[in-house]
Amino acid sequence: MEGIQQSGVDMSLLKDFLDNEPETFCRAFMSHVPRCDSVESNICETFNGYILEEREDGIIDMLEGIRKKLMVRFVDKNKQIARVQRAFCPRIEKRLMVGVEMAKMCTVNPALNDKFEVVVDRKGFVVDMEEHSCTCGYWGLTGIPCHHVVCIRLVSEIGGGCIC
């Protein structure tokens, strides 16, 4: 608290922030277990839009309609996945390629036990390859390696340059 007071932050703003349960809206307080960096409920909204016609029916007919619709969807998605020859889906691949570009600005300092320090603009981040964690939090939150991890993979023998 003393450090916050010394930094010149208005204490009434801090009190308001803490009173509004920051763990419900601030990424710094979010758990890394869901592995999702999205805060909204797009999945629910998409699903509700997907079953609009079925929602008009009675409960049994609605559930049967949803079951049939999902069966067809799973078969279609399974066929699409079978045709894919990539290691990653396009959206993840794009994020990793951005990480490759950002990794050019990083410096890697190896430590013991698959741990590394990655320095970017005089800021150090600790990456634990064994635990799949980085102090920036991105890898733990999304499950996608951050550019610090990409940098390590590109300059070390770990993974042979493979970002997976």
- Provide the pLDDT for residue 68: 96
Q: Does pLDDT of 3 surpass 80?
A: no
What's the pLDDT score for residue 56? 92
> Residue 63, Cβ neighbours under 10 Å: how many?
13
pLDDT value at position 157? 60
pLDDT interval class at 160 (50, 70, 90): very low
CB burial of 25-43 (b: ≥16 within 10 Å; e: otherwise) equals: eeeeebeeeeeeeeeeeee
Cα–Cα distance, 27 to 38 (Å, whole number):
9
d(CA 69, CA 54): 10
Please report, rounded to a whole number, the percentage of residues in the chain having pLDDT higher than 70: 80
pLDDT of residue 84: 82
Higher-scoring residue by pLDDT: 22, 60: 60
Specify the pLDDT at position 64. Answer: 97
pTM: 0.54
Determine the angle formed by the axes of helices 90-103 and 147-155, rounding to 10 degrees: 70
Residue spans of beta strands (DSSP E) within 87-136: 107-110, 115-120, 123-128, 133-134
pLDDT of 61-86, one tens digit each? 999 999 999 999 999 999 998 888 88
Has residue 106 got a pLDDT over 60? Answer: yes
Answer whether 126's CB lies under 8 Å from 134's CB: yes
Condensed to tens digits (0 to 9), the pLDDT of residues 109-147 reads 888 888 999 999 888 999 999 999 999 988 888 888 888
d(C-alpha 24, C-alpha 27), whole Å:
8
Domain ranges across the chain: 42-83, 90-161
